[in-house]
Amino acid sequence: MTGTAPLLGIHHVALICSDYARSRAFYTQVLGLTVLAENHRPARDSWKLDLALPDGGQLELFSFPAPPPRPSRPEAQGLRHLAFRVAALEPWLQRLAAHDVICEPVRIDEYTGRRFTFFADPDGLPLELYEVPPASGE
pLDDT per position as a tens digit, 103-130? 999 999 998 999 999 999 999 888 999 9
Would you say 127 and 121 are in contact if contact means Cβ atoms under 8 Å apart?
A: yes
Does the pTM surpass 0.95? The reply is no
For residues 94 and 100, give the distance between their C-alpha atoms in angstroms, rounded to a whole number.
10
Rounded to the nearest angstrom, the gap between the alpha carbon of residue 62 and the centroid of all alpha carbons in its chain is 13
Q: Distance of CA 19 to CAs 25, 49, 62, 109, Å?
A: 10, 13, 10, 33
pLDDT tens digit string along 60-91? 999 988 887 766 665 566 677 899 999 999 99
Task: For residues 90 and 53, state if they share a domain.
Answer: no
Find the domain containing 122 and state its range: 80-138
Task: For residues 93 and 56, state if they share a domain.
Answer: no
Structurally, the chain folds into a number of domains equal to 2
